[in-house]
């Protein structure tokens, strides 16, 4: 009930003048602060009604962030102002667990227009048992109504007046309708965008969600232990402490009551929690590994996905969890506006064979429909979320060849799941990805993350004695650069980059000057460069980058100084070479779950097979050949926990030892140090961040560099042949939450 501003209320010895914002007791002014006055006004307008704390907070503090402690303080101030003694509840009754009740009899001393109507009043009294009865005592209004009902003349007069009024309204509406529609239609196409957050790249926004009323954004970042609540219209920002957890919480969605959030605990795959934003308390609803969760429009159910891609439903308090769709590489899920169907962004396949669709199903997982099929729904980091608007449009991201993405919409019937009409472009930004759309319940506001990633090369001196690494940026940013090899004299690095445009090319840069020169460029993409001990450059070429199923993908060679380009093998491979004189090269390919290793001749291609390793879970080979090419180190990024395999090429003996460091999740990449006695590798350590470590032949680890999760992560690690330098590729992200309106 909105607060009325044109009335004077009387109860007991008090008079509450809303327009004048005064409270008087028998003519004497009683001092009240502004917020306490607002609370009393709302109580007086709702005599006898049990008002929950949430209702009071929403109606009195509609555009501000407060907690229940602030409300309790206001009630305490009011009790003193109304001269209630301890135990005296003549005006305000506290109902534990429910809220508050104003029990005084209230009379309206002045109407909204300021004219006195002393007979008009609404009375509320408590009786035994705490029940409240309210009655209307507007006797003059009742008498007038009854007299008019008995009089045919009055009834006829009322009918004529009503008919005339209706015709007048219709005429006005007819005149105003056309320009109103034109203004509304033109305004709808005037898309407005506003940036809501401006976190630095080293501490970008990690998760976000829009409240159902479209007034607030809840979000987290990577470094703060707090949750942020942003009032969109006022810009007010409130920090809410998150309960202690082993890993960070992620904001998944708001509940319709505006007082609770759905969280995922333990990073982007963890338990499902319900949090009160007023009490900062959380309650576990489901234990397992969920990577996405959404609350139904009416707040009665939660849809979420487990880590294997299965889709689940459960009640709002975690009751009755049930799987409605099997684990089939699903990506994202969204509720229909009616809450009777789910939209599912489903991904299946592998690289160029990906099948990406937006499907819908009923709440039993059946009655499937395909609303949209487009492989460009999948980007370099996966799919980026969907939202189903009240007008039937589904919002999704489509990726370009440059890995930008643009928001599009397609209309889907919420009842049947059938698509209608053509897809339409909504919004997008050059060099950015549009991710994670969430909309208000009325469909008037939409938030989305504007995401940008940057790959840059850093160099560090490998000081003797294990001194900490000091990283320095090797070249100015602005491009996507990935270091891949060193020249044999350790005076230059070889890297792939998009600095010439959308196509990947291979460059060389001197370590002293940073000046870059082109080695391999052309109409295709060229990357994954390695140098043989004789100075031959090995690299991969294809029409589509990083796609092992592209039929044009092939392993190439060319002299480092330039010359003819030779195709060694067709297909996608991993390969590496030793760095000492007369050292050799190896090549690896994956067939099913088997890693096949062979010798590689830089002039002729594949040579004798070395070994076959079963159960390899990675999607591409990760290996490093020792400087003298006698041992091959292999890691499997698909194996949780992390382990290193060492294959002796002379006797084919395979040694495996686990890496158990700091809650290690996966080994990202690996490289032999120049001395051939240590391995360097980057590891992913849960949500806490990333580390660069060295491990000796006995398995003893040493931390070289630690990188917080917010600061990015290492893609490649390449030591120089002389053992003096280490070159690394670091990827960083920047996320801004954007508000879209009039879409």
Report yes or no: 427 and 740 within 8 Å, Cβ to Cβ. yes
Report yes or no: 201 and 733 within 8 Å, Cβ to Cβ. yes
Residue 409 pLDDT > 60: yes
- pLDDT for 67 equals 52
Residues 140, 145, 147, 148, CA torsion sign: positive
pLDDT mean over 607-624: 89
Residue 609, both tokens: 């097979």
Q: CA dist 730 to 4, 386, 434, 473, 603, Å?
A: 58, 29, 22, 10, 33
pLDDT mean over 479-486: 91
Q: CA 645 to CA 622: how far, in whole Å?
A: 11
Q: CA 220 to CA 230: how far, in whole Å?
A: 11
Domain 8-143 bears CATH identifier 1.10.10.10: yes
Q: CA 481 to CA 504: how far, in whole Å?
A: 9
Confidence of residue 153 (pLDDT cuts 50, 70, 90): very low
Confidence of residue 496 (pLDDT cuts 50, 70, 90): very high
- pLDDT for 6 equals 58
The secondary structure element, H or E, covering residue 169 is helix 152-188
The secondary structure element, H or E, covering residue 459 is strand 445-461
Question: What b/e sequence results for 632-646 when a residue is b if at least 16 CB atoms lie within 10 Å of its CB, and e otherwise?
Answer: bbbbbbeeeebbbbb
Q: CA dist 523 to 352, 469, 501, 536, 611, Å?
A: 19, 39, 11, 22, 36
- Phi and psi at residue 76, in whole multiples of 5°? -65, -40
Beta bridge partners of 435: 449
- pLDDT for 173 equals 38
- pLDDT for 735 equals 86
- pLDDT for 695 equals 84
Indicate the burial class of 63 (C-beta count within 10 angstroms; 0-12, 13-18, 19 or more): exposed
The per-residue pLDDT for range 630-645, each reduced to its tens digit, is 999 998 876 655 678 8
The per-residue pLDDT for range 539-585, each reduced to its tens digit, is 999 987 777 678 899 999 999 988 899 999 999 999 999 999 999 99
> What average pLDDT does the chain have?
81
Q: CA 580 to CA 627: how far, in whole Å?
A: 6
3-state secondary structure at position 673:
coil
**If you search the block for the tokens 């060389």, which residue do you land on?**
508
Nearest Cα to Cα of residue 583 among 633, 531, 649, 533: 533
Name the CATH topology of 453-462+469-734.
Neuraminidase (2.120.10)
Instruction: Give 10's DSSP letter.
Output: E
User: Per mean pLDDT, which range of 224-233, 411-420, 426-435 is the poorest?
Assistant: 426-435
Beta bridge partners of 301: 315
- pLDDT for 131 equals 28
- pLDDT for 636 equals 81
Nearest Cα to Cα of residue 132 among 96, 171, 113, 106: 106
pLDDT mean over 666-694: 76
Residue 667 pLDDT > 70: no
The per-residue pLDDT for range 191-207, each reduced to its tens digit, is 999 999 988 877 889 89
Of all residues in the chain, the percent with pLDDT exceeding 90 is 43
Q: CA dist 486 to 405, 489, 573, 727, Å?
A: 34, 8, 20, 9
- Phi and psi at residue 185, in whole multiples of 5°? -65, -40
Nearest Cα to Cα of residue 647 among 669, 668, 672, 665: 672
Report yes or no: 322 and 311 within 8 Å, Cβ to Cβ. no
Q: CA 16 to CA 44: how far, in whole Å?
A: 8
Instruction: Give 455's DSSP letter.
Output: E
Q: CA 720 to CA 491: how far, in whole Å?
A: 9
Report yes or no: 410 and 419 within 8 Å, Cβ to Cβ. yes
The order of strands in the sheet holding 689-696 is 666-672, 678-685, 689-696, 701-708
Residue 243, both tokens: 């309960």
Q: CA 23 to CA 40: how far, in whole Å?
A: 10
| Kind of pairing between the strands at 725-741 and 516-520 | unpaired
- pLDDT for 631 equals 95
pLDDT mean over 21-31: 90
Residue 143 pLDDT > 80: no
Same CATH topology for 8-143 and 453-462+469-734: the answer is no
Nearest Cα to Cα of residue 587 among 540, 544, 551: 540
- pLDDT for 140 equals 25
In this prediction the pTM is 0.62
Instruction: Reduce the secondary structure of 368-384 to three states and give it as a string.
Output: CEEEEECHHHCECCECC
Alpha-carbon Rg for the chain in angstroms: 34
Residues 261, 262, 268, 269, CA torsion sign: positive
The secondary structure element, H or E, covering residue 178 is helix 152-188
- pLDDT for 141 equals 28
Indicate the burial class of 106 (C-beta count within 10 angstroms; 0-12, 13-18, 19 or more): buried
Every domain of the chain and the residues it spans: 8-143, 152-186, 453-462+469-734
Nearest Cα to Cα of residue 496 among 527, 456, 536: 527
Report yes or no: 590 and 573 within 8 Å, Cβ to Cβ. no
Q: CA 546 to CA 4: how far, in whole Å?
A: 64
| Residues ≥6 apart with Cβ < 8 Å to 272 | 252, 262, 263, 264, 265, 284, 285, 286, 288, 290, 293, 302, 304, 318
């Amino acid at each position: 009930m909105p607060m009325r501003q044109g009335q004077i209320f009387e109860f007991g010895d008090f008079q509450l003048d809303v327009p004048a914002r005064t409270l008087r007791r028998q003519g004497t002014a009683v001092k009240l602060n502004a917020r306490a006055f607002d609370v009393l006004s709302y109580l007086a307008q709702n005599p006898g009604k049990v008002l929950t704390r949430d209702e009071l907070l929403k109606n009195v503090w509609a555009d501000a962030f407060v907690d229940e402690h602030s409300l309790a303080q206001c009630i305490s101030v009011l009790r003193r102002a109304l001269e209630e003694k301890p135990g005296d509840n003549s005006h305000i009754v506290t109902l534990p667990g429910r809220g508050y009740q104003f029990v005084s009899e209230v009379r309206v001393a002045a109407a909204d227009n300021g004219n006195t109507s002393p007979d008009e009043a609404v009375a509320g009294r408590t009786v035994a048992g705490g029940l409240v009865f309210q009655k209307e005592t507007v006797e003059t209004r009742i008498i007038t109504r009854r007299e008019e009902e008995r009089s045919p003349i009055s009834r006829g007069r009322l009918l004529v007046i009503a008919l005339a009024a209706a015709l007048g309204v219709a005429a006005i509406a007819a005149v105003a309708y056309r320009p109103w529609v034109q203004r509304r239609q033109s305004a709808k196409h005037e898309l407005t965008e506003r940036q809501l957050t401006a976190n630095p790249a080293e501490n970008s926004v990690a998760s976000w969600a829009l409240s159902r009323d479209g007034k607030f954004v809840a979000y987290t970042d990577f470094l703060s232990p707090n949750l942020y609540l942003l009032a969109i219209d006022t810009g007010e920002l409130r920090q809410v402490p998150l309960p202690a957890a082993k890993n960070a919480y992620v904001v998944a969605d708001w509940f319709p009551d505006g007082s609770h959030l759905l969280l995922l605990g333990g990073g982007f795959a963890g338990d499902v929690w319900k949090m009160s934003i007023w009490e900062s308390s959380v309650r576990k609803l489901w234990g397992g590994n969920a990577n996405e969760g959404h609350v139904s429009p009416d707040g009665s159910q939660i849809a979420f996905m487990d880590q294997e891609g299965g889709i689940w439903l459960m009640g709002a308090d975690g009751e009755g969890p049930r799987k409605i769709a099997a684990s089939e590489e699903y990506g994202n899920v969204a509720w229909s506006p009616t809450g009777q169907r789910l939209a599912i962004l489903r991904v299946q396949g592998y690289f160029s064979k990906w099948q990406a669709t937006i499907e819908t199903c009923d709440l039993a997982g059946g009655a499937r429909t395909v609303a949209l099929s487009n492989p460009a729904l999948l980007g370099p980091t996966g799919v980026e979320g969907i939202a189903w608007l009240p007008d039937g449009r589904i919002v999704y991201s489509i990726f370009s060849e440059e890995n930008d993405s643009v928001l599009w919409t397609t209309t889907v019937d919420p009842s049947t799941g059938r698509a209608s009409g053509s897809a339409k472009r909504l919004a997008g930004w050059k060099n950015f990805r549009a991710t994670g759309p969430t909309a208000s319940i009325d469909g008037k506001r939409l938030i989305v993350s504007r995401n940008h990633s940057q790959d840059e090369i850093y160099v560090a001196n490998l000081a003797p004695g294990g001194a900490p690494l000091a990283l320095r940026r090797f070249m100015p940013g602005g491009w996507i650069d990935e270091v891949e090899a060193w020249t044999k004299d350790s005076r230059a690095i070889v890297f792939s980059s998009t600095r010439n445009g959308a196509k990947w090319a291979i460059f060389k840069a001197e370590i002293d000057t940073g000046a870059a020169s082109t080695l391999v460029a052309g109409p295709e993409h060229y990357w994954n460069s390695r140098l043989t001990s004789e100075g031959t450059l090995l690299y991969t070429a294809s029409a589509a980058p990083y796609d092992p199923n592209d039929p044009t993908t092939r392993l190439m060679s060319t002299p480092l100084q330039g010359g003819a380009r030779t195709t060694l093998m067709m297909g996608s491979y991993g390969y590496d070479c030793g760095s000492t004189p007369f050292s050799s090269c190896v090549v690896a390919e994956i067939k099913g779950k088997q890693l096949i290793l062979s010798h590689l001749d830089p002039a002729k291609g594949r040579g004798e097979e070395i070994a076959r390793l079963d159960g390899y879970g990675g999607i591409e080979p990760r290996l490093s050949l020792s400087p003298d090419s006698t041992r091959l180190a292999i890691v499997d990024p698909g194996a949780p926990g992390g382990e290193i395999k060492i294959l002796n090429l002379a006797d084919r003996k395979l040694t495996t030892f686990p890496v158990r460091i700091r809650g290690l999740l996966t080994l990202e990449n690996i490289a032999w140090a120049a001395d051939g006695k240590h391995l360097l590798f980057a590891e992913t350590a849960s949500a806490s961040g990333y580390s660069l470590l060295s491990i000796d032949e006995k398995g003893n680890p040493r931390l070289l560099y630690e990188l917080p999760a917010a600061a990015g992560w290492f893609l490649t690690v390449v030591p120089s042949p002389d053992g003096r330098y280490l070159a690394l590729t670091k990827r960083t992200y920047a996320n801004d939450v954007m508000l879209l309106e009039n879409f």
